Amino acid sequence: QVKFVESGGGLVQSGGSLRLSCAASRSSFSSYIMGWYRQAPGHQRELVATITPAGYTNYADSVKGRFTVSRDNAKNMVYLQMNSLKPEDTAIYYCNQEGRSDWGQGTQVTVSS
């Protein structure tokens, strides 16, 4: 069973930056469309960004121009560079294969005003 482990979260001031990492446990990761998702307290999980095996990307309107998703298929890694962070970006961030229903622990991002 493939597993994804997120890391890189933390506490930052408004306007700051963080880079999140997602490590996949299997080499078949290279064939997946991958997504970054986030869930704030009391809210449902939402899609933040996606990236195809070939590197095509898409972003939620709320993060366009601020976040960049990338992947390194040789290393089974996906990244999310987050710049110009806002308090409303505060959430637990998860990575997952598109359409997969199992979720890992995520990584906490907290942005102070």
Q: What is the pLDDT of residues 1-39, one digit of tens each?
A: 789 999 999 999 999 999 999 999 977 788 999 999 999
Give residue 63's pLDDT: 98
Cα-atom radius of gyration of the chain, to the nearest Å? Answer: 13
Band (pLDDT 50/70/90 cuts) for residue 98 is very high
> How far, in Å, CA of 91 to CA of 76, rounded?
24
